[in-house]
């Protein structure tokens, strides 16, 4: 056959296939469509499977990566960052301190008055604002000016009793929940943005310097005494109320964990050994990845199309920013390939991130007999109406699959940390481990939380599981940062204060 003939034959075949597709599409009766939809759900479920044996492999991979990350800089996908926090709050902290919590969609400014040994937290007040999306991808100065401005307003409105004595600066703990290479308790450079932020000129800069310059521009007299992230803040806040807290996990827009490590188990630490013998490690576990992780085509596509492809793989499977989006992607495929929502693909369903995790959790946890919430969410968010109860059940099932996988993987991560620190096996003296938990996902997504806690129990085993408890450390990260500002205050020996 000559070239022209081959081309003609190919075109001919293509035409036949095209016609056939149209015919198949027209003939795809509802039963065929339903079967195809069910097959897509089944496949998704299988690929998301997290049997116990797999979770143990993932936990073991986590401990291996923890060792590697502690051994050397760049030794692992897990940065295992040294926080320079070697003494957690004791409860004796005293005075008025501030915190600024930036880590995702919202940020908070706080003022905490600490009453010393018996006094506890005498007073606390906070203000919250969301970060305008434009600032998430703008310039460093624009973002930090915005934050400093809010802090300026907060301070300007405060009562006289909170004013510092003359000659004494206000002190602040800065909770900045992005990967930072810390160089002391109050300095550190941003390694990269995550969670939808992308501001080139901040990367490689000292974020305390950036904040301090902005505070100056806005006329706020304040010293940044401690730089932490939400996990370290949560660990510090948790320890203030509970002596047995040694791990903190955040499940919010993103996810991360921090824990107390023996300083001697950190080969890359070259400083003097801290008196406590301990150092808090910021794992940056959102960036964990392992060949054992159950990753589907949907996850792969989500990653490729994200702002940080190839990074934060564990976060993309477990955290609030992504769970709803994973469900949307499966629904879109069902609409395209199984005409799940009728002959047309609902246009809204094509919009990335339109289905947010709070809406997903509301659908998942819809207890009404006719799944009214699912119906309402499909209508309001995706403009899909007149779904049958049977279809709404499928939507709930998809939410369940994605949330269960996320929660069980997060549990495997926790089990990995428990193993690394020898806390997976009960100790003679009945030592307890309290895990301080925070983040909107953990707080509000009850099914997710229950699944996570049950799975940790399942992995630990019956005898040991009573030694592990979870503590919701509500807004612990902000208070924790203020506590760390207190314990790293310039005026610690200044008895004239407060």
Catalytic residue numbers read 177, 192, 230
Please give the residues from 226 up to 255 whose contact with ligand ADP meets the rule CB under 6 A: 252-253
What, of ligand ADP, Mg ion, none, does residue 476 touch, CB below 5 to 8 Å by kind? none
Please give the residues from 102 up to 121 whose contact with ligand ADP meets the rule CB under 6 A: 103-106
Please give the residues from 175 up to 234 whose contact with Mg ion meets the rule CB under 5 A: 230
**Beta-strand relationship, 468-472 and 81-82:** unpaired
CB of 400 to ligand ADP, least distance (A): 13
**Beta-strand relationship, 222-228 and 170-176:** parallel
Q: Does 478 bind ligand ADP (CB under 6 A)?
A: no
Terminal-to-terminal C-alpha distance of the chain: 95
CB of 203 to ligand ADP, least distance (A): 20
DSSP string, 242-307: -TTEEEEEEESSSEEEEEEEEGGG-TT--SPPPTTSEEEEE--GGG---TTS---HHHHHHHHTSS
What, of ligand ADP, Mg ion, none, does residue 217 touch, CB below 5 to 8 Å by kind? none
Count of residues of this chain found to bind ligand ADP when the rule CB under 6 A is applied:
16
> What radius of gyration, in Å, describes the C-alpha atoms of the chain?
26
**Beta-strand relationship, 245-251 and 255-262:** antiparallel
Contact 465, 456 (CB under 8 A): yes
CB of 105 to ligand ADP, least distance (A): 4
Please, which residue, 89 or 320, has the CB nearer to ligand ADP? Answer: 320
CA distance 252 to 230: 10
CB of 357 to ligand ADP, least distance (A): 4
Q: Which residues of 88-109 are buried (b: 16+ CB within 10 A; e: fewer)?
A: bbebebbbbbbbbbbbbeebbb
Q: Does 464 bind ligand ADP (CB under 6 A)?
A: no
Q: Which of 56, 358, 432, 464 binds ligand ADP (CB under 6 A)?
A: 358
Instruction: Spell out, one character per residue from 420 to 459, where the chain touches ligand ADP: x when CB under 6 A holds, - when not.
Output: -------------------xxx--xx--------------
Q: Which of 103, 179, 254, 478 binds Mg ion (CB under 5 A)?
A: 103
Backbone angles phi, psi at 118, to 5 degrees: -95, -15
Please, which residue, 423 or 449, has the CB nearer to Mg ion? Answer: 449
Please, which residue, 340 or 448, has the CB nearer to ligand ADP? Answer: 448
Helix (H) or strand (E) holding 94: strand 94-102
Q: Does 175 bind ligand ADP (CB under 6 A)?
A: no
Q: Cα 321–198–481 angle (5° rounding)?
A: 70
Please, which residue, 106 or 241, has the CB nearer to ligand ADP? Answer: 106
DSSP string, 418-461: HHHTTTTS--TT---EEEEEESHHHHH-HHHHHHHHHHHHHHH-
Give me the residues that bind ligand ADP (CB under 6 A), please.
103-106, 252-253, 320-321, 357-358, 361, 439-441, 444-445
Give me the residues that bind Mg ion (CB under 5 A), please.
103, 230, 252
């Amino acid at each position: 056959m000559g070239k022209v003939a081959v081309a003609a034959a190919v075109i001919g075949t293509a035409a036949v296939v095209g016609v056939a597709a149209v015919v198949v599409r027209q003939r795809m009766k509802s039963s065929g469509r339903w079967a195809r939809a069910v097959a897509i759900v089944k496949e998704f479920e299988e690929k998301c499977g997290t049997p116990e044996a797999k979770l143990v492999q993932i936990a073991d991979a986590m401990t291996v990566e923890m060792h590697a990350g502690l051994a050397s800089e760049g030794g692992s996908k897990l940065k295992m960052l040294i926080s320079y926090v070697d003494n957690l709050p004791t409860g004796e902290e005293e005075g008025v301190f501030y915190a600024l919590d930036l880590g995702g969609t919202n940020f908070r400014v706080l003022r905490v008055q600490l009453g010393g040994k018996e006094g506890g937290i005498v007073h606390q007040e906070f203000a919250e604002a969301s970060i305008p999306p434009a600032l998430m991808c703008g310039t460093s100065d624009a973002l930090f000016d915005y934050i400093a401005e809010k802090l300026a307003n907060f301070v300007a409105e405060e009562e006289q009793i909170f004013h510092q004595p003359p000659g004494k600066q206000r002190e602040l703990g800065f909770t900045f929940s992005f990967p930072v290479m810390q160089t002391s308790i109050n300095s550190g450079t941003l390694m990269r943005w995550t969670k939808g932020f992308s501001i080139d000129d901040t990367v490689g800069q000292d974020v305390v310097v950036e904040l301090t310059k902005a505070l100056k521009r806005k006329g706020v007299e304040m010293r940044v005494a401690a730089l932490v992230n939400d996990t370290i803040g949560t660990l510090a806040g948790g320890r203030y109320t509970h002596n047995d807290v040694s791990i903190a996990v955040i499940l919010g827009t993103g996810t991360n964990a921090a824990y107390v490590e023996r300083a001697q188990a950190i080969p890359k630490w070259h400083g003097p050994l801290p008196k406590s013998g301990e150092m808090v490690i910021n794992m940056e576990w959102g960036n964990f990845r392992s060949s054992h992780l159950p990753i589907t085509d949907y996850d792969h596509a989500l990653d490729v199309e994200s702002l940080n492809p190839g990074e934060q793989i564990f976060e993309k499977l477990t955290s609030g920013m992504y769970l709803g989006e994973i469900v949307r992607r499966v629904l879109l495929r069902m609409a395209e390939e199984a005409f799940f929502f009728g002959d047309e693909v609902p246009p809204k369903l094509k919009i990335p991130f339109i289905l947010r995790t709070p809406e997903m959790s509301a659908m998942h946890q819809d207890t009404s007999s006719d799944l009214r919430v699912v119906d309402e969410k499909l209508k309001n968010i995706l403009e899909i109406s007149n779904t049958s109860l049977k279809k709404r059940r499928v939507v709930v099932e998809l939410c369940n699959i994605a949330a269960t996988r996320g929660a069980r993987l997060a549990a495997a991560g926790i089990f990995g940390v428990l193993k690394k620190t020898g806390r997976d096996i009960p100790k003679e003296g009945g030592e307890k481990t309290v895990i301080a938990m925070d983040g909107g996902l953990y707080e509000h997504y009850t099914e997710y939380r229950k699944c996570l806690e049950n799975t940790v129990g399942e992995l630990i085993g019956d005898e040991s599981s009573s030694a592990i408890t979870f503590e919701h450390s509500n807004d612990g990260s902000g208070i924790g940062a203020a506590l760390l500002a207190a314990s790293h205050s310039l005026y610690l020996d200044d008895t004239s204060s407060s």
